[in-house]
Amino acid sequence: MNGDHPVKTAAPPRPYARVTLRDIAERTGVAVSTVSRVLNPRERPWADAALTRRIQDTAGALGYRPNAHARALAGGKTQTVYLVTRHSPFFMHATKVITFQHELDKLGRNVVVRDPGLHPESSRVLDHLLADAPEAVVFMLNVGLKPLGPICRTLHAHGIRIVFMDYDQLPPVPRRVSADFISVDRTHGACLAVSHLIARGHQRIGLLADQRMAGRLEGYEQALREHGITFRAIGWMASAAPAAEQEIIGFLDKHPALTAVFCGSDSLAAGAMRGILRSGRRIPDDIAVVGFDGEPWTPYLPVPLTTVTQPVAELCREAADMLHKRLNARKHDEPAPPWESITVKPELVVRASSGVEKGFDTCRHPSILSIPSIGDRRR
């Protein structure tokens, strides 16, 4: 008591209840509108520094979290980016998702991963994409949504930016619907691999791949044409290491002149290496092998694998920067930057499987036969 007037104190928020602006206002003794303006990043310069600190400290102590839905209703969008991609258990895909999330997190944006495989119907996909009023939707890795056109048209109508990331090529989108595009030049990577084998003296080079693997055949053909080589040996198979292990024997019997094989993925290369060694051949003395992807386990195979590495860090950094520039331009009412189409190039990492390391024991290394079977995925 202070004289005849009671001292008013704010009751703590109820356990497990969402902390509101009113809770913070009562605790700090200011108006709700003042708390709202202070905690809104766009309004923060308006407030007195001491008052700002007091309100921020109180909000932190109470465990306040902004309501994204309320902000979306007030301003039309949250600072959320949806990353739409199919679930995959493989390391390369997971690395791209995590790296992209990290890049956007550094730029102050939230990423929500959505798997359209759970809701393949077009209308349900749209319901989920529009639920939290995201600023942008990023489609990654040929997500396979059909029809994609109506989805893009609706997102565009809601002012949601669209990016296609790690697609083989820009998918058809409706007229007046713009989208940014960024991907890996897989044809260039395959050409690097085959050109490397040619530089090592190989003239009879085979290709092992899944027909759905983009750029492998094109790069294989390009390298052979550029060097005037007419020999061709192409083996299509399911994109899994066990398939490669079984198929490689028949492939080599069918093409006995082969001295090298370019595999469309590291997983196929691992399976092929098992089959090659089981057939009594040596790597790289009898058959040189090059893979594709740059999986982290490739240096630790008994015969370390030469492989084309996908530039994951560059891909994700460029995609995040592209999106951030576009969203910032809208935030500050600046002219939107031109729609971009960017292709990043992979690199070749040379190891013993293509015959470059002298002194390596390539004789039927028994431990390679115990490499666990590694599945593959569509890329």
**Following DSSP, what letter does each residue of 145-205 receive, concatenated?**
-SSHHHHHHHHHHTT-EEEEES-SSPPP--TT---EEEEE-HHHHHHHHHHHHHHTT---E
Strands 288-293, 306-309: pairing is parallel
58-116 tens-digit pLDDT: 988 888 876 555 554 455 556 789 998 887 767 888 899 999 999 998 888 889 888 87
Residue 2 is predicted with a pLDDT of: 45
Which carries the bigger pLDDT value, residue 195 or residue 86?
195
Least confident of 43-57, 171-185, 192-206, 238-252: 43-57
% residues pLDDT > 90 (the chain):
43
CATH class, range 1-66: mainly alpha
**Residue 132, pLDDT score:** 72
pLDDT digits (tens, 9 = 90+) for 165-177: 998 777 777 777 8
Q: Is 188 or 50 the better-scoring residue by pLDDT?
A: 188
Residue 278 confidence (pLDDT) above 60: yes
pLDDT confidence band for 51 (50 / 70 / 90): confident
Residue 311 scores a pLDDT above 60: yes
Q: With 90 as the cut, is the pLDDT of residue 262 above it?
A: yes
pLDDT of residue 363: 35
Name the β-bridge partners of 110.
80
| Prediction pTM value | 0.72
Tens-digit pLDDT profile for residues 323-378: 988 888 877 667 767 788 899 999 999 999 998 644 333 333 333 333 333 333 33
pLDDT tens digits, one per residue of 233-259: 999 987 677 888 888 999 999 999 999
Provide the pLDDT for residue 99. 95
| Domain 186-310+347-370 grouped into CATH 3.30.9.10 | no
The crossing angle, in degrees rounded to 10, of helices 32-39 and 21-28 is 110
Does the structure show a pLDDT above 90 at 15?
no
Give the separation between CA 185 and CA 349, rounded to whole angstroms.
16
Residues of the chain with CATH 1.10.260.40: 1-66
Phi-psi sector, 76: left (phi>0), alpha (psi -120 to 50), beta: left
Q: What is the pLDDT of residue 89?
A: 66
Q: Which of 159-168, 221-230, 290-299, 305-314 has the lowest mean pLDDT?
A: 159-168
What single DSSP character describes residue 237?
Answer: -
Contacts of 251 (CB under 8 A, 6+ apart): 206, 208, 233, 235, 258
Nearest to 198 by CA among 224, 216, 221, 222: 224
Structure tokens at 124: 């349900």
Fold of 78-178+312-344: Rossmann fold (3.40.50)
Sign of the Cα torsion 253, 259, 264, 268 reads positive
CA gap 164, 161 in Å, rounded: 10
Per-residue pLDDT, 293: 94
Which residue shows structure tokens 């897989």? 186
Please list the residues that pair with 205 across neighbouring strands.
260
The CATH 3.40.50.2300 portion of the chain extends over: 78-178+312-344, 186-310+347-370
Contact indicator for 339, 178 with CB cutoff of 8 Å? yes
Highest mean pLDDT out of 29-43, 47-61, 116-130, 206-220: 206-220
SS3 content of the chain, % helix, strand, coil (to 5): 45, 15, 40
pLDDT beyond 50 at 30: yes
